[in-house]
Structures are given as structure tokens and as C-alpha cells.
Amino acid sequence: MLRKLLTFEEAKRTIEANFKPQFLGEEEAVLLEAANRVLSQDVTSPIDIPGFNTSTVNGYAVRAEDTVIVSEDEPANLKVAGVVGVGEQPKAVLAKGEAFEVAAGAVLPEGTNAVLPAEDASREDDTLLVYSSVVEGENMVKRGSDIQKGAVVLKKGQVLGPAEIGALAALGLKQVGVLKIPMVAVLSVGSEVNELGKSLSPGKAFDVNGYSLSTAVMECGAKPVYFGAVADDKSAVERILKTAVSSSDLVVVCGSMDVTEIADSLGKPGIVVNTIAVKPGKNTAVAFVDGKPIFLLPSNPSAALLMFQLLARSLVQRLAGRPVADLKAVTAYAGSKMFSAKGSRTFVLVKLLFDEQCRLIAETIGAAGAVSALAVADGFVEIAENEQFIDIDQEVTVRLLRGSAGRV
């Protein structure tokens, strides 16, 4: 198989041309299990919210017309016909010349069109002395004023966060229709890769990539299916890779062994990207087998995670039915000179900090190892192929690998 070096943009276009996202279906999920899922259809309200006319203050339910001409010296006299507390149902209709004592949030008796605050009246036994007038609708919330029955509350494609789940609970919905979660197979290849929980013998390293990439998959709204570490054995890798392709919607492989020939043999079109002019991550390859993407990432943990974020992330988001959200970015100043690799799109890992002038500074990680770079890096700076370097104090865009600017 010939290797053709593609530019970063060519690689992205090639991946896009071969990616045909499939609708994975929908299912019902109980409310708490629907958190962070994607709505499969519009949600309309089965009820009015609020479901009744309610008071916004402690006071008296009245008819506004009974309070029109009043003053401190000449108060109106109304008969107190009852009391309504929160959660109670009024036992009578409010008639002309009457008032009901009500608490804030209480159901208002039928016939009420305003609420008089308690401080604007005084009570003598069953007689209410009204010293201030109110207008129709004052100090009350009408039924359905927030959400009317039949109104669309949430739209298809929305991701269900805390606010959305709260809204669904307010509608009384115990379950909701959501898109099925895509399955993403994650496996690490290499005889040097050690499963967690096993003793670490000389020449071995724990499986960093399997866990960091599985977490990245979850952040995209998909479910990782972790196949563990596979030794450098062609037949074993082929067997497990076939299983991964048949049981998942997208596959992520990383490791020291070249898996491109195996991936290319699994189906058409096979390998579509086999080297990319980027640093790090030059040996990243991508295959498509019966429409399913297979990303073959480097063994270096920093490079593997970076290539996933740059190339695979948007595909996983689309499989999950989510809007494609680019990595968050901040503007900073280069804290040191950043050099590019000649002819390659270069990505420089940086950490963020503030200087004495409270400017945000992007500081290169320097000689940090592959694992420590993951722990330290807040994001990366991208240097184009035709740029030799970024000078110290030059303004740069830092795309974040974390949800926020980490330690900043």
C-alpha cells in the first residue's frame, strides 16, 4: 500500500468526503438517564404552567373593581369570605364585595382578578379595610402565562442539561424520547501496553491512550467500548478489530504497531488517509469500512489525543446527533518562541498563566514527556505550514483541551 502524504486540510476533506453519518435510531429514557442525551423530537407541554391562577404576594384575593375609590381616610369595606393556603383549593367563588386571605403561591378563587398586598389593608374580624386600590392582574400570575398546554417547550436536537431536565420535570414527564448513543470502540495495540491493575514489568507502560480517548469519546456524547490492550500479534489484532467494527459505529485504535494493512483489508474503501503533514501525529491514518470510520492514531498520548480532537471529534458529535462544537479558544501572548516543523501544520502544546500585567500567556511545555504533557497542557497553538515560528509576545489563539483554561 502506497503512502501518500496529505496536508492537514486535504486529510480533513478526505475524511469528510467519505463520512456518511447514519441515523442510529431513537429510544425512550427515564428522566435522570436522559441527562446529557439528545432529544429525538420536539417536546410539547401536556399542561398549563402554572396550572392555576396564583398570587405572587401574601395578601387578599379581590375583585379590582371593588378597590377603585379608596384612601387612608375612606377605605373600602370587604367581607373576608375565607382563607387559602399554599397547596389548598378554594372552597368558594369570590363574589362582589368579598375578599379571600391568600398566601404567596396559593390558588386564587374563581372570580379573582387582582391581589391586594397585606400591608395595604387591615382586618377587623371578618371585615377587610382596603386603603389602596389595585388594577386587574396586579400581584397575580394567570394560568398558562409561563407555558401553555400544547406549546413547544424543547426542540428536537437539544442536549438535555440541568435546565432542560428541570423543564421536563415541571411538565410532569417521567421519560422522554432521545437519540440512541453511538458506540465508539477504543483499543490500544502494543506488546508494551499494560492493563490497569496488573503489575508493571520492565519495558511496559500502563494504557494511557485507552482511558484518555475513552473520556474524550464521552465528552462528545458517545459511549466508549473499551477493548483493552492488544499485543503486537497480527491475527489477534485483526480478530479484535473485526469485532470492534461490527459492534460499533466508529473505531479508534492507537499503538506502536502499524495496523493500516489490517484496517485496509477489512472492507471498502479501506485506508483513505495514511500519513498527514502535521506535527505531532504524522503517522495518523484513517480508514472507512462499510461506511464506518476507523482512526489509527499514534502511540504518543499527547499526539493521540490531539489527533482525536482535530479529526475524529466532529464525527463522533455528528453520530450522536449533536451540533458540531469546535474546541473553545482564548487569545493569549506567546511566552516563548514557538517553532514549526518545515512543511507541516504544527501544533504546540501550551499551558496558560497570567503575567504581572494580568495578560494571559501561552507558555510552551518544553521538554515535558508525553504523559506529563497531557497533565500540564491547557491547549495548543496552531502554526501554519508557511510560518517558520511564532515570536515571543506575539498574539496567539489557544484552542483549549480542557473545559476551561485549567489552572488560569
Residues 158 and 18 placed together within one structural domain of the fold: no
Q: What is the pLDDT, as a whole number, of residue 1? A: 61
Exposure string over 342-381, b if 16+ CB within 10 A, otherwise e: eebbbbbbbbbbeeeeeebbbbbbeebebeebbebbbbbb
Residue 57 has pLDDT above 50, yes or no: yes
Residues 365 and 385 placed together within one structural domain of the fold: yes
- Comparing CA positions, the residue from 16, 13, 8 lying closest to residue 278 is 8
| Range with top average pLDDT, 189-193, 348-352, 374-378 | 348-352
Helix (H) or strand (E) holding 318: helix 313-319
The residue out of 179, 203, 235 marking a domain boundary is: 179
Confidence of residue 55 (pLDDT cuts 50, 70, 90): very high
Residues 219 and 106 placed together within one structural domain of the fold: no
Report the predicted TM-score, pTM, of the whole model to 2 decimal places: 0.84
How many domains does the chain contain in total? Answer: 4
The answer to whether residue 239 is domain-embedded is yes
Residues 195 and 277 placed together within one structural domain of the fold: yes
More confident residue, 1 or 100: 100
The answer to whether residue 94 is domain-embedded is yes
**For the chain, what percent of residues have pLDDT higher than 90?**
83
Q: What is the pLDDT, as a whole number, of residue 71? A: 87
Confidence of residue 133 (pLDDT cuts 50, 70, 90): very high
Q: What is the pLDDT, as a whole number, of residue 363? A: 95
The answer to whether residue 315 is domain-embedded is yes
Q: What is the pLDDT, as a whole number, of residue 404? A: 43
Residues 218 and 287 placed together within one structural domain of the fold: yes
Residue-range definition of the domain harbouring residue 250: 5-24+181-319
**Quick one: average pLDDT of 166-190?**
96
Q: What is the CATH number of the domain that holds 38?
A: 3.90.105.10
Residues 32 and 158 placed together within one structural domain of the fold: yes
Q: What is the pLDDT, as a whole number, of residue 405? A: 43
The answer to whether residue 66 is domain-embedded is yes
Residues 137 and 150 placed together within one structural domain of the fold: no
The answer to whether residue 188 is domain-embedded is yes
- Comparing CA positions, the residue from 164, 73, 58 lying closest to residue 118 is 58
Residue 253 has pLDDT above 60, yes or no: yes
Collapse the DSSP code of 335 into the 3-class scheme (helix H, G, I; strand E, B; otherwise coil) and give the result: coil
Q: Exposed, middle or buried by CB within 10 Å (0-12, 13-18, 19+), for 123? A: middle
Residue 123 pairs in a beta bridge with 128
Q: What is the CATH number of the domain that holds 201?
A: 3.40.980.10
Residues 170 and 234 placed together within one structural domain of the fold: no
